[in-house]
Amino acid sequence: MVSPRNSEDNIAKPLIDHNSSLPQYSSTEPANFSNVSIPTPTGPTNFNMSFVFSLLVVLGTFLFAGTVWYITSSVDYFFFIWHPLLMAMVVSMATLGIVVLQKAYSLNFHKVMQSIAFLSVIGGFYITYTFKAEGNKEHFTSPHGKFGLITFSLILIQSIAGSTLVNFPGVVGGVAKAKAMYKYHRVSGYLLLSLIWLTALGGTQADWTKSQFDHLWIWLSATGMVLVGIIGGIKSSKLKVF
């Protein structure tokens, strides 16, 4: 005699459980639009918005950096050309280095990308400082130059602080205390990323850049895509510093 089936067994189950691969959130943490269902004639279609936000950041970053690299490859070579080339690398690596953590990828990717940004910002700063010194020009006179100096200094501080927390936790009292300080590093990282992009936007409005490529909408479009993507990927629970 066959035992009666449980009523739940009669419910048709999908071959693929789309929700099984989605990140799980606690009841106190907003889902950050990780899964959006849109009704269609054939049934609801689920969109992983976490992926969409990350894609926006990647596309915006490469649109911005790619445009800079296009400009530098289209002009005759001179020493200063290394400054925008390296600073575009800083923007790219600093931005993508945050995305890999938002997506919970390996910390090693973050370390590699931020290390490249660290070395690139030193190289970019050296290039512009040497170029102006050789031309007997004053340093840090423009808004872009002043913001650049502040950004350069904060990137060095942020990089050294992050490296200390991960590689030398004993400096702050051990691994547990170092991990407790990660949230402060995240908050300062987001603020610093905002400053990096503001400084980069200032560079796009420099006289030399505008003489080569005067299309503000490209720069604003790229920045807007990154802004939406980064904000959309933020998990508020990891930014609680109080």
Return d(Cα 73, Cα 89) in angstroms, integer.
15
**pTM assigned to the model:** 0.82
* Residue 44: band (very low, low, confident or very high) from pLDDT cuts 50, 70, 90: confident
Task: Give the pLDDT mean for 92-113.
Answer: 92
CA distance 185 to 209: 33
- Tell me, yes or no, whether 42 lies in a domain: no
Cβ-based neighbours of 99, under 8 Å, separated by 6 or more? 54, 57, 58, 229, 230, 233
Question: What are the phi and psi torsion angles at 206 (to 5°)?
Answer: -65, 155
Report which of residues 65 and 2 the model is more confident about.
Answer: 65
What mean pLDDT comes out for the span 166-184? Answer: 94
CA distances from 188 to 84, 129, 174 (A): 24, 26, 21
Instruction: Decide if 32 is inside a domain.
Output: no
Give the whole-angstrom CA distance, residue 195 versus residue 149: 11
- Examine the pLDDT at 140 and tell me if it is beyond 60: yes
pLDDT given for residue 70 in this prediction = 96
**pLDDT-derived band of residue 200, with 50, 70 and 90 as boundaries?**
very high
8 domain residue, yes or no = no
- pLDDT recorded at residue 236: 84
The residues facing 124 across adjacent strands are none
> What does the pLDDT read at residue 1?
47
Higher pLDDT pick, 205 / 1: 205
Flag whether 54 is in a domain.
Answer: yes
Residue 21 lies in a domain: no
Range of the domain at 160: 49-239
Q: Is it the case that residue 166 has pLDDT exceeding 90?
A: yes
Q: Please indicate whether residue 24 or residue 85 has the higher confidence score (pLDDT).
A: 85
Mean pLDDT of 64-78: 96
What's the DSSP call for residue 86? H
- Residue 86, pLDDT score: 98
Establish if 11 belongs to a structural domain.
no
Question: Cα separation of 89 and 75, whole Å?
Answer: 19
Q: What is the pLDDT of residue 127?
A: 97
The number of domains in the chain is 1
pLDDT at residue number 22: 37
Residue 171 belongs to a domain: yes
Q: What is the pLDDT of residue 19?
A: 45
Beta strands in the chain (DSSP E): 35-38, 45-48
Q: Residue 218: count other Cβ atoms within 10 Å of its Cβ.
A: 14
Mean pLDDT to the nearest integer, 229-241: 87
What percent of the chain is predicted at pLDDT more than 90? 73
Domain assignment of residue 83, yes or no: yes
Average pLDDT over residues 115-130: 97
pLDDT, averaged across the chain: 86
Structure tokens at 45: 């279609």
Q: What is the pLDDT of residue 31?
A: 43
Task: Check which CATH number belongs to the domain holding 104 and give it.
Answer: 1.20.120.1770
Strands 35-38 and 45-48: antiparallel
